[in-house]
Amino acid sequence: MSDLFSSLQMGPYRASNRVVMAPLTRCRAGQGNVPTELMARYYAQRASAGLIISEATCISPQGIGYPNTPGIWNGEQMAGWARVTQAVHEMGGHIVCQLWHVGRISHPSLQPDGGLPVAPSAIKPVGEAPTDQGMQPFVTPRALELSELPAIVKQYQIAAQNAMACGFDGVEVHAANGYLLDEFLRDGSNQRADAYGGSLENRSRLLIEVLEAVCAAEGADRVGVRLSPIQPANDMRDSDPEATFSYVVERLNAFGLAYLHVANMGITAPGAAGPYFDPRTLRTLWKGIYMTNHGYDRDSANAAVKNREADLVAFGVPFIGNPDLVARFKAGAALNAADPATFYGGNEKGYTDYPVMA
């Protein structure tokens, strides 16, 4: 019987345990959205995770929604990432790159030429964007033209090729948390009347096209996908999340992906994101390796793996405060508390200075 500390073959590489570092935006990239040496140290400190999923990484300037987030569309950014992947590999770890386009969760001050953020439909999300000038209300985004979508699909493909070229073990397509691909999936943000809106087939079309392009570039067994079916953040909702995401998961089965990653945010507030369902039930539809996330601790994660509710468990906040999370779990040791004041932006403080066990 497998437990949290059993190894797992994932496509071409073997994860040494089932404790995954969840993608965590930390807003510490340098000028030009270039990953820094400090980021390499941070990730290397956490290399004992069975797998590291990088912080969300922008596929294009239009995909940016937060200051100081890394990109992967040019050579300087790739050189920065190559230092990160090398540092992780030297410590015996594996790391995949989370590919990100924020869609409407941006602000003109973060967009090329001060343009409007783009989205499936011109629906303004409730909330504020963190900009270089502080928090600013979201604006009404511009609905993408049909003619613009092939270029976005191509940017995902190029980003995946770039990720492989700078040493990542694979990529995770970010289709969660109210960003572009999730905005297309859910009908609260997608009210298009063309081939990318309306039916489940149409709302899934952009994600499917992105996956076809990304899998063609690097092989499906190096590609994961993240979904968050009932995550209400970023003003997200769907009229029937169970039907929507059951359909999406069935379609994803056809790809032979490295894994499916389902984040359960929203699960503790039934109804908050519209009709409630338990996203953990998607496990029964999925034919491959299944990763779960949100609010797990050592015991609940171990139980989930032992009971076969998931093959892998991703940890977010616990990995911020505990670079040696796997060793602490093995030892049953206490965890450092992570400091929310240093989650987004800053320097070493609250980033690379959390102590390991004595």
The catalytic site residues sit at 179
Token digits for 289?
């390796």
Window 200-229: residues binding ligand FMN (CB under 6 A): 226
Q: What does the per-residue mask of binding to ligand FMN show for 164-203, with x meaning CB under 6 A?
A: ----------x-xx--------------------------
Of 29 and 78, the one with the shorter C-beta distance to ligand FMN is 29
Site string for ligand FMN, 91-110 (x = CB under 6 A): -------x------------
Sort strands 223-227 and 259-263 into parallel, antiparallel or unpaired.
Answer: parallel
Q: Examine residue 260 and tell whether it contacts ligand FMN (CB under 6 A).
A: no
Interface residue with ligand FMN among 15, 24, 44, 72 (CB under 6 A) is 24
Whether 159 contacts 137, CB under 8 Å? no
The nearest distance, CB 253 to ligand FMN, in angstroms, is 21
Q: What is the SS3 assignment for 32-94?
A: HHECCHHHHHHHHHCCCCCEEEEEEEECCHHHCCCCCCCECCCHHHHHHHHHHHHHHHHCCCC
Instruction: Name the residue type at position 222.
Output: R
Binds ligand FMN (CB under 6 A): choice among 10, 15, 20, 23: 23
Q: Which of residues 102-161 bind ligand FMN (CB under 6 A)?
A: none
* Residue 55 binds ligand FMN, judged by CB under 6 A: yes
DSSP-assigned letter for residue 30:
B
Per CB under 6 A, 39 contacts ligand FMN:
no
Using CB under 6 A, which residues numbered 3 to 22 contact ligand FMN?
22
By CB under 6 A, name the one of 8, 10, 105, 263 that touches ligand FMN: 263
**Closest Cα to residue 149, out of 85, 77, 202, 110?**
202
When CB distances to ligand FMN are compared, the closest residue is 316
Structural Rg of the chain based on CA atoms:
19
Smallest gap from Cβ 155 to ligand FMN, in A, equals 18
Nearer to ligand FMN, 205 or 261 (CB): 261
User: Whole-angstrom Cα distance, residue 179 to residue 212?
Assistant: 19
Q: Total number of residues binding ligand FMN (CB under 6 A)?
A: 21
Task: Give me the least distance between CB of 294 and ligand FMN, in Å please.
Answer: 4
Q: Which residues, 6+ apart, have CB-to-CB distance to 56 below 8 Å?
A: 23, 25, 69, 98, 100, 174, 179
DSSP state, residue 290: E
Beta bridge partners, 324, equal: none
Site residues for ligand FMN per CB under 6 A: 22-25, 55-56, 98, 174, 176-177, 226, 263, 293-296, 315-318, 343
